[in-house]
């Protein structure tokens, strides 16, 4: 970059040494807006191409491909003289007889059946670890349904089972939003070194003010007594108990899958055996969840926080039993401010102590099994 001519053209570009600009890689795109290479698979090039009045599209772009503009808008025929009315028929080849390549995704504008938005925003094929159910699926979105109030949409597309078919798309709901939508203009996506994805938004139409925000895509845990691997990005096993966890900037969500029919508990950051640990005891009694927030008062003894002058800081809990054992879930603050709760820091690692009873749901019964493990908390990106 510091010497010679840094400008270069790949020698195998389709128009090198023939009529046309040497720089052209592909054509027939109206307004490409955000593109990315798939980090896995065949490293394909995904491009969001903004339509005119009726349809948005996403293309997998290949060398020399003609993507149809302005013969087609998305999968529909297009008439420049009457852009609001797709013709019934149109050519399926370009001026030189080359085939027009179909987009992998098309969706309509508001006002049309199934309308989603006005401007596609290209994203990334997901290859992170936080959302294993999204692996290999394309996460993208739409800028807004209108120009007056930011109303962007997060979308995810799934590859078809048969080659040549369109990808299916569905909306990604935002668990931290009351409307379950972005409630802002969607501007772009980002990807970090771990292949996790970020969403860039703004509450203003143009690049003014300080209304821009960056969000990281993370799981939305539902505390319902059913533990799904798509909910929890992290898991470990201690003495036969499968421990799942996820944290945001304020709370930690935990799922425990025990082989027993009795209680199951977990303690965070013990100092010696159970001493000093923040212990959460859970059980399913007569089909209902029972919990208790305890503190390790000694190496082999614990007591309820409320009996020591503290508070029970379990924010939510649920549980269920089946023929295979017991499943419980709960949420606690990372830092409740209670002297009998250990403050947990995002990004740090902690020892955990896990125990369960095979049959008894009484918290005063000595455990059947007990062991130790370790968890590492995520360090969420704050707004």
Does residue 187 form part of some domain? yes
Q: How many residues are listed for the chain in this entry?
A: 383
pLDDT exceeds cutoff 60 at 244: yes
CATH number, domain containing residue 45: 2.120.10.30
Does residue 156 form part of some domain? yes
pTM higher than the cut 0.85: no
Same domain for 210 and 254? no
Average pLDDT over residues 303-325: 95
pLDDT at 132: 78
Question: Which residue's entry shows tokens 């569905």?
Answer: 170
Beta strands in 32-74 (DSSP E): 32-37, 45-49, 55-61, 72-73
Q: What is the pLDDT of residues 15-45, one digit of tens each?
A: 999 999 999 999 999 999 999 999 999 999 9
Same domain for 264 and 154? no
pLDDT exceeds cutoff 90 at 232: no
Average pLDDT over residues 221-229: 84
Does residue 286 form part of some domain? yes
Q: What is the pLDDT of residues 107-163, one digit of tens each?
A: 999 999 999 999 999 999 999 988 877 899 999 999 999 999 999 999 999 999 888
Same domain for 77 and 205? yes
> What 8-state DSSP symbol labels residue 135?
T
pLDDT exceeds cutoff 70 at 321: yes
Cα–Cα distance measured from residue 25 to residue 339, given in angstroms and rounded to the nearest whole number: 63
The domain boundary, picked from 174, 190, 216, lies at 216
Does residue 13 form part of some domain? no
Same domain for 93 and 162? yes
Does residue 10 form part of some domain? no
Residue 303 φ/ψ, nearest 5 degrees? -145, 155
CATH number, domain containing residue 316: 2.60.40.1190
For residue 153 the two structure tokens come to: 């949409």
Judge contact between 186 and 172, C-beta under 8 A. no
Same domain for 273 and 179? no
pLDDT exceeds cutoff 80 at 382: no
Does residue 229 form part of some domain? no
pLDDT exceeds cutoff 60 at 1: no
Cα–Cα distance measured from residue 91 to residue 28, given in angstroms and rounded to the nearest whole number: 13
Q: Is 142 exposed, middle or buried (0-12, 13-18, 19+ CB in 10 A)?
A: buried
Same domain for 196 and 73? yes
Same domain for 247 and 211? no
What is the average pLDDT score of the chain?
A: 94
Number of domains in the chain: 2
pLDDT exceeds cutoff 70 at 251: yes
pLDDT at 2: 72
pLDDT exceeds cutoff 90 at 4: no
Same domain for 351 and 310? yes
Same domain for 212 and 238? no
Does residue 4 form part of some domain? no
Judge contact between 161 and 72, C-beta under 8 A. no
Same domain for 194 and 242? no
For residue 358, the enclosing domain spans 234-376
Same domain for 248 and 188? no
Q: Which of 24-28, 98-102, 123-127, 210-214 has the lowest mean pLDDT?
A: 210-214
Instruction: Map residue 307 onto helix, strand or coil.
Output: helix
The domain boundary, picked from 165, 182, 216, lies at 216
In what helix (H) or strand (E) does residue 357 lie, and over which residues does it extend?
A: none
Same domain for 281 and 154? no
Does residue 117 form part of some domain? yes
pLDDT exceeds cutoff 50 at 249: yes
The domain boundary, picked from 216, 243, 267, lies at 216
Cα–Cα distance measured from residue 383 to residue 376, given in angstroms and rounded to the nearest whole number: 22
Cα–Cα distance measured from residue 298 to residue 349, given in angstroms and rounded to the nearest whole number: 23
């Amino acid at each position: 970059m510091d010497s010679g001519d840094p400008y270069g053209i790949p020698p195998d570009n389709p128009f090198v040494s023939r009529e046309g600009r040497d720089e052209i890689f592909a054509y027939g795109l109206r307004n490409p807006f955000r593109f990315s290479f798939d980090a896995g698979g065949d490293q394909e090039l995904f491009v969001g191409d903004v339509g005119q009045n009726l349809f948005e599209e996403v293309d997998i772009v290949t060398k020399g491909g003609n993507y149809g503009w302005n013969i087609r808008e998305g999968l529909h025929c297009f008439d420049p003289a009457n852009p609001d009315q797709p013709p019934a028929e149109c050519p399926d080849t370009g001026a030189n007889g080359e085939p027009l390549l179909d987009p992998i995704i098309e969706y309509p504008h508001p006002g049309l059946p199934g309308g989603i938005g006005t401007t596609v925003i290209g994203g990334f094929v997901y290859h992170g670890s936080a959302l294993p159910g999204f692996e290999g699926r394309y996460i993208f979105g739409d800028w807004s349904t209108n120009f007056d109030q930011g109303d962007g949409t997060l979308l995810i597309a799934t590859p078809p089972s048969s080659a040549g078919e369109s990808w299916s798309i569905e909306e990604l709901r935002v668990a931290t939003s009351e409307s379950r939508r972005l409630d802002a203009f969607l501007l772009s996506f980002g990807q970090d070194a771990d292949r996790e994805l970020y969403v860039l938004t703004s509450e203003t139409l143009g690049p003014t003010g300080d209304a821009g925000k960056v969000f990281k895509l993370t799981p939305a845990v539902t505390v319902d007594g059913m533990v799904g691997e798509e909910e929890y990005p992290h898991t470990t096993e201690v003495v036969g108990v499968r421990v799942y966890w996820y944290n945001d900037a304020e709370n930690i969500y935990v799922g425990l899958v025990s082989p027993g029919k009795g209680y199951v508990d977990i303690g965070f950051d013990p100092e010696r055996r159970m001493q000093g640990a923040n212990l959460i005891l859970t059980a399913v009694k007569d089909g209902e969840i029972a919990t208790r927030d305890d503190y390790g008062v000694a190496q082999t003894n614990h007591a309820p926080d409320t009996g020591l002058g503290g508070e029970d800081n379990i924010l939510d809990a649920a549980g269920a039993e089946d023929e295979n054992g017991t499943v419980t879930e709960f949420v606690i603050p990372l830092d409740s401010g209670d002297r009998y709760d250990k403050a947990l820091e995002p990004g740090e690692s902690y020892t955990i102590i896990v125990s369960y009873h095979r049959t008894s749901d009484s918290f005063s019964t000595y455990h059947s099994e007990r062991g130790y493990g370790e968890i590492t908390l995520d360090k969420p990106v704050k707004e």
